[in-house]
Structure 1
Amino acid sequence: MTAGVRHRLGVASRAVAAIAGGYGVAALSSVVLALCLPAIFGMARSEATMTGLLASFAVFAFAVMWVFAARTALRAWSGLVLVAAVLGALVLLLMRTNGAAA
C-alpha cells in the first residue's frame, strides 16, 4: 500500500470517527446531563433535557476537533470508544438508580 493510499484511508477513518463517534459521544453526554442535572441542581426535567441537548452541540464540536488533532486515527478511535464507554456506564448506572425505564 502506498503512502498516499494510507493517508487517504487515515483521513477517511478520522472522518467516520468524527461523524459517527462524535455523534455517539454527544448523544450519551446529553443523556447523562439530562439524568444528572435534576438530581444535582434540582432542575426541572424539561430544563435538564434542554440543557443536555444544547451542551451536546459543544461536545460534538469538541469531539470532531479532538479526532483531527489526535496523532493517529487509532488514537482518535480509542479515545472516542473510551469516553463512550464511560458515558454509557454512567447512563446505565443513573437509569438504574433513578428508576428510569430502559
Structure 2
Amino acid sequence: MKKASLPYWPVVSRTLAAIVGGYAVTYCFTAALARLLPLDRFDATLVASLVSFIIYLAFILWVFATHSLRRVAASLLIIPPLALIGFWPQLLERLG
C-alpha cells in the first residue's frame, strides 16, 4: 500500500506507544523507585505510586510531542533495566 493511503498510522502507533509503552515504563519505574527509596516499605510504595501518575502523564505527553517514532521506540529500552531493579528479589526467590 502507498503511504498516502494510511494517514492514520502515525497517530495509531503513537497512541499504542503512549498507552501500552507508557504503562510498561510506569509499572517498572514504580517498582524500581519503591525498591530504591530509603524509606519503610509502605512509605516507599506510597511515594512511588504517587509519582507514577506524573511519570505516566509525562510519558504520554512526550510521545506525542517528539518528532521521531524511532526516539519513542528507543525510549522503551529503559523497561528491562527498570524491571530488573524493581523485580530482582522476586526473580531470585522464584529461581532459588
- TM-score normalized by the length of structure 1: 0.77
Consecutive unaligned residues of structure 1, counting only runs of 5 or more, are none
Q: Which residue of 1 aligns with 2:30?
A: 30
- RMSD of equivalent CA atoms: 2.2
Paired residue type of 2:8: R
Equivalenced residue count is: 93
Paired residue type of 2:4: A
2:60 aligns with one of 64, 76, 88? 64
Question: By how many angstroms is 1:33 displaced?
Answer: 1.2
Consecutive unaligned residues of structure 2, counting only runs of 5 or more, are none
Tell me which stretches of 4 or more aligned residues in structure 1 moved more than 6 Å: none
Question: By how many angstroms is 1:101 displaced?
Answer: 4.0
1:53/1:77 CA distance change after superposition, 3 Å = same
Percent same amino acid among aligned pairs?
Answer: 29
Q: Which residue of 2 aligns with 1:12?
A: 12
2:50 aligns with one of 32, 51, 54? 54
Paired residue type of 1:88: A
- Asked if 1 retains the 8 angstrom alpha-carbon contact of 2:14 and 2:64, the reply is yes
- TM-score normalized by the length of structure 2: 0.81
SS at match of 1:61: helix
Q: Which residue of 2 aligns with 1:3?
A: 4
